[in-house]
Structure 1
Amino acid sequence: MRRSFIILALLLAASLARPASAQQTPGQLADQVLLHAHEATAIAEGGGHRVVDIFFDPNCPYCRQLYSDLRAWVGKDDLQFRWIAVAILAPSSLPKAAAILQAPDRLQAFRATEDHGLNPNANPGIAPARVVTPRTRKALAANEALLQRAGIDSAVPLMVFRDKAGKGQLFIGAPKSDTELAALLATVR
């Protein structure tokens, strides 16, 4: 949680350093992302009506930790997680993200990639794409542009959702405990 608050404080500081017309609160940034989240190329997990959009990079260990922590929540409490791939952390992120988005079953490819990262001996994961199609490049670029709407260039995982009051919320990083994660998910509308 401390890492998340530090990053959120940095976001706020960066926002305050902008001209007055460009200043936005984290809630306003979240609203901008949520306004266009339906345009993202996302991998839906769970069929609930309480939606959490999660930006991830296949090379991100914090994303992998969040993925692991959310396993107990998939299909429960009317939650749906929409995983939005971006390729921002390393040159190898692009072929890995592309492999997931170009797979016949994106959810299965995503899970194989994340499961492999959690336990490299468990299964081989999915091989990085040898060819990244123009369609996939366009989808990843659009996902990254959506992430940038939140004023963030390279901080993942990023969870974006509406709280019970209907306000946009941002959470950067993986919650530090099951209790913190449960409290966060309880606020999702």
Structure 2
Amino acid sequence: MNPYRRTLLRAACAAALGASLIGIAPLAIAQQTQNPDAVEVLADMGKATVITEGKGARVLYIFFDANCPYCHELYTALRSEVGKDGLEFRWVPVAVLTPSSVTKGAAILQAPNRLAAFHENENTYGKGSNGKGGGITPATKASPSSSAILNANNALLEATKSPGVPTLLYRNKQGDAMMMVGPPNPQQLKEILASVK
């Protein structure tokens, strides 16, 4: 990811985190019509390394950073939906927000069970050594394969032209490629889950 893009993503997250600290909810940005960037990226999602929850034909991709508070908010909101109504959540790990995003992402990717490590990160969110971000213990070093995965996933996120994470990608029942940036509110989430093809 180019340095300018990374700076924009960090600034967006910092602004969002600052807003959450003063009680202003972030705004989710939804496309009501097919998103051209989502079309291209959805066609390339077979190249992504994902962590899958649930099993079904109805697929929702979610780009997340291990330290992202709004990704954690979305994770929490989706707990009751895992494995329901043929939905499959494919979490796409990226490292775009903080330096420890790389080592926490690597800890998830290098774990014997990536799904269990992902759950550990989210279920202990804010309880790590510094009391911020994902709760998983960061890897001492990102392996070359983990770095390659994070870089490839970061490039896919960049291709969406999304300003931040979480970024959701899916096809609706009409077959249109859709994208949403930020955690959807409960009504938006209900509508998205109902519309996933």
Return the offset for 1:180: 2.2
Return the offset for 1:126: 2.6
Return the offset for 1:2: 7.1
Change in CA separation of 1:78 and 1:87 when aligned onto 2, cut-off 3 Å:
same
Report sequence identity in percent.
Answer: 44
Q: What's 1:15 paired with?
A: none
Structure 1 letter corresponding to 2:172: D
Q: What's 1:127 paired with?
A: 137
Q: What's 2:8 paired with?
A: none
Q: What's 1:12 paired with?
A: none
The runs of at least 4 consecutive aligned structure 1 residues that moved more than 4 Å come to 118-121
Q: What's 1:107 paired with?
A: 115
Instruction: Tell me how far apart the structure 1 counterparts of residues 127 and 184 of structure 2 sit (CA, whole Å).
Output: 20
Structure 1 letter corresponding to 2:182: G
Instruction: Tell me how far apart the structure 1 counterparts of residues 170 and 108 of structure 2 sit (CA, whole Å).
Output: 23
Instruction: Tell me how far apart the structure 2 counterparts of residues 175 and 147 of structure 1 sit (CA, whole Å).
Output: 18
Q: What's 2:22 paired with?
A: none
Instruction: Tell me how far apart the structure 1 counterparts of residues 150 and 48 of structure 2 sit (CA, whole Å).
Output: 9
Structure 2 letter corresponding to 1:158: T
Q: What's 1:86 paired with?
A: 94
Q: What's 1:77 paired with?
A: 85
Structure 1 letter corresponding to 2:190: A
Aligned residues: 168
Instruction: Tell me how far apart the structure 1 counterparts of residues 127 and 137 of structure 2 sit (CA, whole Å).
Output: 15
- Structure 1 unmatched runs, 5+: 10-24
Structure 2 letter corresponding to 1:89: L
Q: Is the 8 A contact 2:127 2:135 kept in 1?
A: no
Instruction: Tell me how far apart the structure 1 counterparts of residues 126 and 82 of structure 2 sit (CA, whole Å).
Output: 17
Return the offset for 1:33: 1.1
Structure 2 letter corresponding to 1:3: L
Q: What's 1:159 paired with?
A: 168
Change in CA separation of 1:38 and 1:160 when aligned onto 2, cut-off 3 Å:
same
- Correspondent of 1:4 among 9, 13, 28: 28
- Structure 2 unmatched runs, 5+: 1-24
Change in CA separation of 1:26 and 1:88 when aligned onto 2, cut-off 3 Å:
farther
Q: Is the 8 A contact 2:95 2:150 kept in 1?
A: yes
Q: What's 1:16 paired with?
A: none
Q: Deviations over 1:7-61 (max 9, x none)?
A: x69xxxxxxxxxxxxxxx8611001110011110100000111000000001100
Return the offset for 1:151: 1.2
Change in CA separation of 1:119 and 1:72 when aligned onto 2, cut-off 3 Å:
farther
Return the offset for 1:118: 6.2
Q: Deviations over 1:66-104 (max 9, x none)?
A: 000000100001000000000000111000000001100
- Correspondent of 1:145 among 142, 150, 155: 155
Return the offset for 1:119: 6.4
Return the offset for 1:176: 1.7
